[in-house]
Amino acid sequence: MPRALVTGAAGFIGSHLCQYLLDRGFSVVGMDNLITGDTANLQHLTGSDFVFVRHDVTNYINLEGPLDWIFHFASPASPIDYLRVPIQTLKVGSLGTHNSLGLAKAKRARFLLASTSEIYGDPLVHPQREDYWGNVNPVGPRGVYDEAKRFAEAMTMAYHRVHGVETRIIRIFNTFGPRMRLEDGRAIPAFFTQALRGEDVTVFGDGSQTRSLCYISDLVDGIFRLMSSDLTDPVNVGNPQELTIRQLAEKIVALTGSRSRIVNRPLPVDDPKVRQPDITRARALLGWEPRVSLDEGLPPTLEYFRKRLGL
């Protein structure tokens, strides 16, 4: 039985990844310090093949026994989080990545870094390809996340080149689905929560900024395909179907049947104006592309938020 470690296991993506691996015969160790994760996301993972370890990966990681794969997903991942804990965000991207790579080297394990479309910053190239170096403000409020992930990519490639560690880098674009946090701060949780409560749905700026939204089941399939491949260069995984934030808000208000008004608020500093992945590499080299459309993924996400809100 292959054995995998997932850091950030109690988070939205990490918990789905743990389930995916267990369904494919892996023994899984989930690790999280619960700074943004929630053990409720892991309660359904019962049995001897899953073990949860509460640990902060910015400290030395000691794990007994062999490891085949390490998925490094630990990090605050929404603006509301990394603006609240900026230093911890920088530390998990730097020290946490260093410690996780050190464990991969010691265990001779394959390592996958969960990077992000945010490494492209407020892009001047559209859609974003993996060979685009980005347009990031290193001293702005979002820089703590953007630069932490850019450093993590550099560290990952250094361990690959210097120590021969088998590494993979996935650049994850906006993802949605059940187990997103109510107070996540990102568009879909905010819009669903506000609409279901009958509150004003708040759109930052004029709502013309765009996002491309990938359903969680498609993302974890892409993660697994990349880890199973021999690709060491970064690969974008996301849904290239692009829409404006205003269009997304309108879809969610209509889907919930809410009478909420859509209101505008000032645009946050350095908020990206566009976000759309070029997934040519994922299609050609992994045989991957999204299967679940936004309209198919929103209803189960709505049901999750209804239950969380007790509606």
**pLDDT at 183 exceeding the cut of 90:** no
Find the mean pLDDT for residues 215-225: 98
Q: Which long-range contacts (CB under 8 A, 24 or more apart) does 25-31 make?
A: 25/1, 26/1, 26/2, 26/69, 27/1, 27/2, 27/3, 28/3, 28/4, 29/3, 29/4, 29/5, 29/53, 29/63, 29/67, 30/6, 31/5, 31/6, 31/7, 31/55, 31/57, 31/61, 31/74
Residues 206 and 224 occupy one common structural domain: no
Residue type, 114: A
Kindly state whether residue 283 falls inside one of the protein's structural domains: no
- pLDDT attached to residue 185: 86
Q: What is the mean pLDDT of residues 31-60?
A: 95
Q: Are residues 226 and 162 in the same domain?
A: yes
What's the predicted TM-score (pTM) here? 0.96
Asked if residue 228 is part of any domain, the answer here is: yes
Q: Specify the pLDDT at position 79.
A: 87
Q: How many domains does the chain have?
A: 2
As a whole number, mean pLDDT of residues 195-218 equals 95
Do 297 and 222 share a structural domain? no
77 part of a folded domain: yes
- What per-residue confidence (pLDDT) applies to 48? 81
- Identify the pLDDT of residue 272: 84
The verdict on 250 and 121 lying in the same domain is no
Mean per-residue pLDDT for 60-89?
95
Residue 282 forms part of a structural domain: no
> How do residues 127-151 score in pLDDT, each as one tens digit?
999 999 999 999 999 999 999 999 9
pLDDT at 46: 76
pLDDT of residue 47 exceeding 90 = no
Q: Answer yes or no: 120 catalytic.
A: no
Longest dimension (CA), the chain: 58
Cα separation, 176 vs 166, in Å, equals 29
CATH number at residue 230: 3.40.50.720
- Using the CB atoms, write b or e for 29-49: b if 16+ within 10 Å: bbbbbebbbeeebbeebeeee
* Whether 114 and 193 share a structural domain: no
Q: What is the CATH number of the domain that holds 249?
A: 3.90.25.10
One domain for residues 159 and 186:
no
Which tens digits make up the pLDDT trace of 82-118?
Answer: 889 999 999 999 999 999 999 999 999 999 999 999 9
| Residues 62 and 190 occupy one common structural domain | no
Same-domain status, 55 and 184: no
Q: What digits encode the pLDDT tens for the residues 261-279?
A: 999 998 887 778 889 999 9
Candidates 20, 82, 145, 159; catalytic one? 145
By percentage, how much of the chain surpasses pLDDT 90?
92
Cβ atoms of 270 and 145 closer than 8 Å: no
Q: What is the pLDDT of residue 214?
A: 98
Co-location of 14 and 144 in the same domain: yes
Tally of CB atoms within 10 A around 58: 19
Residues pairing with 115 in the sheet: 171
Q: What is the CA radius of gyration of the chain?
A: 19
Which domain does 151 fall in, by range?
3-175+215-237
Higher local confidence (pLDDT), 184 or 135:
135
- Is the domain of 152 the same as that of 105? yes
Indicate whether 127 and 38 sit together in one domain: yes
**Separation of alpha carbons 195 and 248, rounded Å:** 12
**In this predicted structure, what is the pLDDT of residue 210?**
92
Please check the confidence at residue 306 and state whether its pLDDT lies above 80: yes
- Token code pair at residue 114: 């969960």
